[in-house]
A = this chain, B = another copy of it.
Amino acid sequence: MGQQFDLLKVRLNEISDVNHAASLLNWDQETYMPNGAAQSRSEQLGTLSKISHEMFTSPTTAKLLKLAAAEETTMKNAKKAAIVNIAKRDYDEAKKLPSEFVAEMARVNSQATHAWIDARRQSKFELFAPWLKKNFDLARRAADYLGYTEHIYDALLDQYEPGMKTSEVTTIFTDLRDQIVPLVHAIVANKDRITDDCLHGQFDKQVQEDLAKKVAAQLGYDFNRGRMDYTAHPFCIHFAIDDVRITTRIDETMFNTMFFSVMHEVGHALYEQGISHDYDRTPTGTGCSLGLHESQSRMWENLVCRSRESWVYFYPQLCEALPVFKDTPLETFYKAINKVEPSLIRVEADEVTYNLHIMVRFEMEMAMLDGSLKMNDVPEAWNAKYKDYLGVVPENDAVGCLQDIHWSNGLIGYFPTYALGNLISVQLFDRIKKDIPDLTDQFKYGEFSALLAWLRKHIHQHGRRYLPPDLIKRASGKNLSAKPYVAYLKAKFGAIYQL
């Protein structure tokens, strides 16, 4: 039995293989591809994306989905059902957007990205403004195709965080902002209590790389099913559950740049490496949502690797690799890697201020969507919000409203998932600490496998089987809220800054 399912699975496997081949083309483009190949590579990516889309939205797939779904009602196999259901959900979504519209979006987004690169280089927002308008117009049309009941933003957010509502995000973010802004002010008033001088110096590239890889392996990243390369911007990408790669970048004068970005990507990679092989080569075989994914990267980066306990284990290794640290007490180092400082650039922000960067973007996306914010007024609005929430003002648009690639790429409704990831990470961690009372003590002697096993069981293995809100509820026992995160920040940074 299960013949219809088997036929569907062959189809999904082939589509997945095409998508993963495209991912390898992308990985190669960022890592090793010679510059001269740019044009041919974009043609290859276009072709594979077209083939994958045609195969997935074809009448054959529709028929196989229908037959497998009918068969499934008699089979009651939860994992097979997860494969059929997710494929069906993706199929329905894909059919909502007409092919010509998808092609138009791809073309405009690509042109907009080139305009953005130019605008950022020259720090001239006006070069980008007309493209930003085009992208928001397209986003509005996409939302209409996708459909929504409460808020137009729901349709966009749902692409990245299925099941999450804009109203919930607004509630959570309002809560968060009301608590974090005063905390930031209190920290800024006492900023002299911490220095991160010890993190600046001259740290050999190979030594940093070796240390980062060693720690990555200690956390549980399987290098036999992954590898690490250098790119301009770090990322995690997979071509199979058994081929999950990370990238990093190096700054020989600042310790954090490589180390914490590696641990962040390792968090993503542990998720992908932990998905059940039953879901390999199907749409179910990847992370549940961007927010859930970010919860994993932030948990390993911040809750594990920026904890005092972990450095009891890591610090001797660091001092051996980079003996200059022998002159710095562990406690000084611990505070240094947790220094809080309101700044202009999102990707360099600390745990306390990070979410404020996201709120600026979320509020502006809403305003641009409903037309209350005109494109020409974006820089002014951006700068005003940064002054209001973070107390800093960009000296130019390159480090202001032009800093992120997302809007140029048509990724509208995406930013909130970064903040949701932070919130989910702490809400899950609180639950794990209840299940494993000595969890953080284990970190002191390099024991991370209990944490990983918990995540494997409750999060990783399921892939996209559950909707994000359901998975969060199942795993943490509660609906998502800002409370655990705010409590975590107040406790940790209140202690560090003696507030």
Contact = CB atoms under 8 A, between A and B. Distances in A.
Interface of A: 13-14, 17-18, 20-22, 24-25, 28, 32-37, 39-41, 43-44, 46-48, 50-51, 222-227, 229, 239-243, 245, 280-281
B44 A239 contact: yes
A318 B47 CA distance: 45
B43 A281 contact: yes
A207 B28 CA distance: 26
Nearest to A33: B243
Contacts of A18: 47-48, 51
Nearest to A39: B242
Query: Looking at A22, A222, A240, A241, which has the most chain B CB atoms within 10 Å of its CB?
Result: A240
Contacts of A46: 17
Given A18-B47, A24-B28, 15 more contacts: A17-B43, A17-B46, A20-B44, A21-B21, A21-B22, A21-B24, A21-B25, A32-B227, A34-B242, A34-B243, A39-B242, A40-B239, A40-B280, A41-B243, A43-B281
B222 A17 contact: no
Given A24-B24, A39-B242, A40-B242, A14 B224 contact: no
Contacts of A40: 20, 239-243, 280-281
Nearest to A31: B32
Interface centre among A41, A50, A224 (most CB of B within 10 A): A41
A325 to B, nearest CB: 29
A183 to B, nearest CB: 42
Contact of A51 (B14, B32, B37, B224): B14
A206 B410 CA distance: 43
Nearest to A10: B47
Instruction: Say whether chain A's binding surface is mostly helix, strand, loop, or mixed.
Output: helix
Contacts of A35: 224
A34 B239 contact: no
A37 B243 contact: yes
22 contacts: A13-B43, A13-B47, A14-B47, A14-B50, A17-B44, A17-B48, A18-B48, A21-B21, A21-B24, A32-B32, A33-B243, A34-B225, A34-B243, A34-B245, A36-B225, A40-B239, A40-B240, A40-B242, A41-B240, A43-B281, A44-B240, A51-B51
B34 A226 contact: yes
Nearest to A47: B17
A39 B18 CA distance: 16
Contacts of A281: 40, 43
A350 B35 CA distance: 36
Nearest to A50: B14
A40 B34 CA distance: 26
A242 B43 CA distance: 13
Nearest to A226: B34
Contacts of A36: 222, 224-226, 242-243
A34 B227 contact: yes
A76 to B, nearest CB: 28
Contacts of A222: 36
A280 B43 CA distance: 11
Contacts of A239: 37, 40-41, 44
Contacts of A41: 239-240, 243
A310 to B, nearest CB: 26
A124 B18 CA distance: 39
A208 B224 CA distance: 29
A14 B37 CA distance: 17
A28 B239 CA distance: 12
